[in-house]
Amino acid sequence: MTTTSLLWPAPAVPTLAVRGQTSRAPVNRLFFVGRNYHAHAIEMGRPVDKASEAPFYFTKSPSTLVASGARVPYPPGTADYHYEMELVVVVGAPGFRVTQADAHRLVYGYACGLDMTRRDLQLVARDKGRPWDLGKDIEHGAVISEVVPMPGVVIERGEIALQVNGQVRQRSDVARLIWSIPELIADLSTYYHLQPGDLIYTGTPEGVGPVRPGDSIDGHIEGVGEIVLHVAEADPA
């Protein structure tokens, strides 16, 4: 057997801690649902009419993942770095064109996530009809807690909340998702062959806002767990 010679080290596949397991969960892709709570869609100035709209998605590079508890630099290129607290579905089985009735079979478990956002750049991109990458695909900008195994379980309710420096900024309930977890899995699987290790960040409730260097974020989702992020100074110019 020959060994392939690489010019530089191959990027590592990110892996996630799993509650109660010594094995870690390797990550494949990161999908994010836009505007999936009505009150957040309204605060963004883009209300959602589920009767005439479909969910939409963006992605982040797996290399943007950072584990809960990390201290990350305030990112370059923004003056309005926002938190978005989200329930994350961890896919554990493959599926393509899955029905809503079968969607639960793809669920390995759940995690708490932060979809960190350069809001200033995202809104410029949105309003100019440009891609959202600079607003969303941010180094250290996809924060994830440990994975909680709940195979086949569909979460339908539970408080989702976030504090900055101990002050409550977001508080809602997963029951207020516009598109439910089975609806999201079924819809996303019409575009992608979903694979184990795919993560679906299901959208944020209202109350998004900025953080500054020195701030600490902590969030929780009832029945899932908690997530923490510390925002440090920007890298020196």
Nearer to Mn ion, 95 or 113 (CB): 113
Q: Hey, what are 86's tokens?
A: 């989200």
Q: Hey, what are 67's tokens?
A: 């584990």
* In the complex, least distance from residue 44 CB atom to Mn ion, rounded to whole angstroms: 10
Of 33, 74, 13, 54, which is closest to residue 197 (Cα–Cα)?
13
Measured between alpha carbons, how far is 208 from 230 in angstroms, rounded to an integer? 17
What are residue 210's DSSP bridge partners? Answer: 82
Nearer to Mn ion, 180 or 204 (CB): 204
* In the complex, least distance from residue 84 CB atom to Mn ion, rounded to whole angstroms: 4
* In the complex, least distance from residue 75 CB atom to Mn ion, rounded to whole angstroms: 16
* In the complex, least distance from residue 147 CB atom to Mn ion, rounded to whole angstroms: 19
Q: For the chain, first and last CA: distance in Å?
A: 47
Residue nearest to Mn ion (CB): 115
Nearer to Mn ion, 40 or 220 (CB): 40
Residues that bind Mn ion (CB under 5 A): 84, 115, 204
Determine phi and psi for 39, rounding to 5 degrees. Answer: -65, -30
Nearer to Mn ion, 189 or 204 (CB): 204
